[in-house]
Structure 1
Amino acid sequence: MSDPRFRVVLLGSVVSPMGAALVSPLLDTLLGVYGVSEARIGLVMAAFTAPAIVAIPLVGMVSDQYGRKPVLTAGLALFGAAGSALAFTADFRLTVALRLRQGIGYTGIAPVLIAATGDLFAGDREATAQGLRFTTVGLSLAVFPFLAGLLVSLAWQYPFYLFALGLPAAVVVHFGFEESATGASAERGVDVRRLGRLVRTPRVGLALLGRAVPSFLWFGFLTYNSIVMVRLLDGTPGAAGALVALASVASSVGSTQVGRLTAAFDTRRVPLLVGTLATGAGLAGVALAPSLHVAAVVGAVAVGAGCALFAGRGARPDNM
């Protein structure tokens, strides 16, 4: 914590998980604002997550070769600007376009923060630093969805103003983050062919395919959480935000036990299977819950804990 560069990383880690979790409690309210169906409102989430499919590997290679600082600064600025602009439009098409741009900004934040932490520390110190970074992410995921659920009851625009935190964070990174000597390669240019060969490796390809499973379940939970809470269980946006916060806390707690669970088996297949089944069962529990308490205790906790177990190192799908 005495390293000012790491404090900047932690500031970025407060911003990075907001993109999906903050919007989750708002979606039922936004149905009326945008005048769209429950099916179409999912595009608000899909537009944010779609850029990661292509951009994250490319952004990672660019940050390796040109440095973490410019990529992180640009990512935070775009994330904050596009996100806060959502408060000024009720046009659904423009909203989806802004979320797409915000998603592009996100690809320059979370993966770069993980790499920047690895640049700054090594060995046990890196493990400790990554743990502190993940704790910061967990606190952000516990606070901002709940706060957004409360603010949307005052005005639908208010939660989007929270995204503006990305703008001062970008300024702090630009002026306060010193690039590590290992943060950039002397080589120039992005080797897309090397990336393609890596993806075609059976082990890597299967890992990427398997990684899509908890991501699908987690974002399914985030997308329809508020609609289930408000329309089916007579809850409030605040309750929907609390459910996201509860799932995030369960994920953080579950991540502390991943090492023990993995060490208890000769293969990683068992923890991966348990995590996948828990996440799927939790999502079904939220959808079929007869009450808010059942949705919280059975559904949200299982979704969060399952994602932590599947990730292996405790990284949720929205902030690897």
Structure 2
Amino acid sequence: MSQTLWCAPVQRSSGRRVLPLVFAVTLTGIMANSLVSPLLPDILDTFDQSAGSAGPLVAAASLPGIFLAPIIGFAADRWGRRPVLTLCLIVFGLAGVLTAVTANFAMLVATRFLLGVGSAGLINLGVVLIGDHFEGEERTTWIGRNAAILTIGLAIIPLASGVIAEFFSWRIATLGYGFGLLSAAYAWNVLRDEPVRTSQPLKSQLAGVGTAMRTPIIATTVTVGTLSFAIIFGVFLTAMPDHLDTRFAMSSGWRGFMISVPALSSALVGFNLGRIRRVISVRWALAISACFWAMGMMFIGWAHVLVVLIIGTLCYGLGEGALIPNLQEVAMSEAPQEHRGAVVATWVGFARLGQTIGPLLAGLLLSASGAPAVFIAGAIASACAALIFIVGPIGRSTPTAT
């Protein structure tokens, strides 16, 4: 019988100790695009690029994750979370700082691609660490709160980078990517007592992960997760800055503020996800969140006054706060423990595909029809996701793994 990659759950005290690391890794992972989002018009002006060039610039940091996220997950299952996570953070930090000194647009796209190499495994490894240290309702609670930290980061990071760019320059703002180097040192220290993992033959590992990914529930989370990240990074993070610039004439500081507004409602939902799941099934939590997304994007696209824009962004935040952490929790709970890192990483790899395709499609539609058309397309896609949740397999069976 071949050896497995399984190791016993870590003691609860150790779980509490690892939570600050999880949050630091999550915040580092979202910096790739959230930090640069309010800076896009200024960057494009610096290099004399059209609005459509925002798509490739955003997508460059997401593209590596399509291929590398699953590989990083396999590596973390075989050789441990500590060395793999630390290396990812070092690459992220070094590449990110290089973006501040790029001489032309092509070089900037290249450094952001390298930034994406480092960030490819960060979000999934943070979630996997929660799965390693917590079970059951406690796992759901901390996945929700990690998502809330993520959304708070999505509020603070673009706000901070926008303000820094307002007073200094976008190049100074991108030095914030150096946080990855601090996170690397912290990860190496916190995970020093990580249990040693035993490896199984690579062929067996691949077969096990393939079987898990083909189960209807995990396959559904992958499909909708890909669509969801295409919406987040294509519709909101790519089209929203242009929408705020052209229709509302907002400066980089105010654009950063408006992009951060959804974090208020999203964090509220995320911090209370455990309570929400006690009174509503995961299937309906997902369906309702997708409906909020559709409604929010319709409001944003139609908005000509600030109050309607704010209502739309708050609705968008309500949907995001429940949608992503619930998808993550379902995928992790269905995954066999010995393949958890690889399954979650493969899930994130497909999410990265969405992150890459979304900005590219949004950039094309943005150039052809403007930002409102992008938001209408996002609303239609969100309605399709809600329909999948209502008629699909999620929430119709009990998770098979913890």
Q: TM-score range by the shorter chain?
A: 0.7 to 0.9
Native 8 Å contact 1:30 1:156 kept in 2: yes
Native 8 Å contact 2:148 2:268 kept in 1: no
Native 8 Å contact 1:72 1:112 kept in 2: yes
* TM-fit CA distance, 1:51: 2.6
Select the residue among 159, 166, 170 that pairs with 2:173.
159
Describe the shift of the 1:281–1:123 C-alpha distance in structure 2 as closer, same or farther (beyond 3 A): closer
Query: Secondary structure of 1:313's partner?
Result: helix
Q: How many residues align?
A: 316
Indicate the larger mover: 298-307 or 254-263: 254-263
Find the aligned partners of 1:92 and 1:303 in 2 and give their Cα distance.
32
User: Residue type matched to 1:91 in 2?
Assistant: N
Find the aligned partners of 2:276 and 2:78 in 1 and give their Cα distance.
37
Describe the shift of the 1:158–1:288 C-alpha distance in structure 2 as closer, same or farther (beyond 3 A): farther
Find the aligned partners of 2:321 and 2:50 in 1 and give their Cα distance.
32
Describe the shift of the 1:8–1:214 C-alpha distance in structure 2 as closer, same or farther (beyond 3 A): closer
Find the aligned partners of 1:313 and 1:206 in 2 and give their Cα distance.
12
Native 8 Å contact 1:22 1:148 kept in 2: yes
**Runs (5+) with no aligned partner, structure 2:** 1-12, 330-347, 353-402
Find the aligned partners of 2:306 and 2:41 in 1 and give their Cα distance.
16
Query: Secondary structure of 1:17's partner?
Result: helix
Residue equivalent to 1:42: 55
**Runs (5+) with no aligned partner, structure 1:** none
Find the aligned partners of 1:227 and 1:315 in 2 and give their Cα distance.
30
* TM-fit CA distance, 1:172: 2.5
Select the residue among 233, 245, 263 that pairs with 1:230.
245
Query: Secondary structure of 1:235's partner?
Result: coil
* TM-fit CA distance, 1:203: 3.3
Alignment of 1:194-205 (within 5 A): 194-205=208-219
Establish whether residue 279 from structure 1 lines up as the match of residue 293 from structure 2. Answer: yes
Native 8 Å contact 1:251 1:306 kept in 2: yes
Select the residue among 87, 100, 111 that pairs with 2:124.
111
Native 8 Å contact 2:130 2:143 kept in 1: yes
Native 8 Å contact 1:217 1:280 kept in 2: no
Residue equivalent to 2:365: none
Find the aligned partners of 1:4 and 1:267 in 2 and give their Cα distance.
28
Find the aligned partners of 1:298 and 1:90 in 2 and give their Cα distance.
40
User: Residue type matched to 2:255 in 1?
Assistant: A
Describe the shift of the 1:126–1:88 C-alpha distance in structure 2 as closer, same or farther (beyond 3 A): same
Residue equivalent to 1:213: 227
Select the residue among 149, 171, 181 that pairs with 2:185.
171
Residue equivalent to 1:84: 97
Native 8 Å contact 1:218 1:303 kept in 2: no
Indicate the larger mover: 187-196 or 234-243: 187-196
Describe the shift of the 1:151–1:276 C-alpha distance in structure 2 as closer, same or farther (beyond 3 A): same
TM-score (norm 2): 0.70
Residue equivalent to 2:270: 255
Give the % identical residues: 24
Native 8 Å contact 1:213 1:276 kept in 2: no
Establish whether residue 69 from structure 1 lines up as the match of residue 82 from structure 2. Answer: yes
Residue equivalent to 2:155: 142
Task: Please give the root-mean-square deviation of Cα atoms over the aligned residues, in Å.
Answer: 2.9
Find the aligned partners of 1:54 and 1:236 in 2 and give their Cα distance.
36
Native 8 Å contact 2:88 2:121 kept in 1: yes
Find the aligned partners of 2:113 and 2:39 in 1 and give their Cα distance.
18
Residue equivalent to 1:53: 66
TM-score (norm 1): 0.86
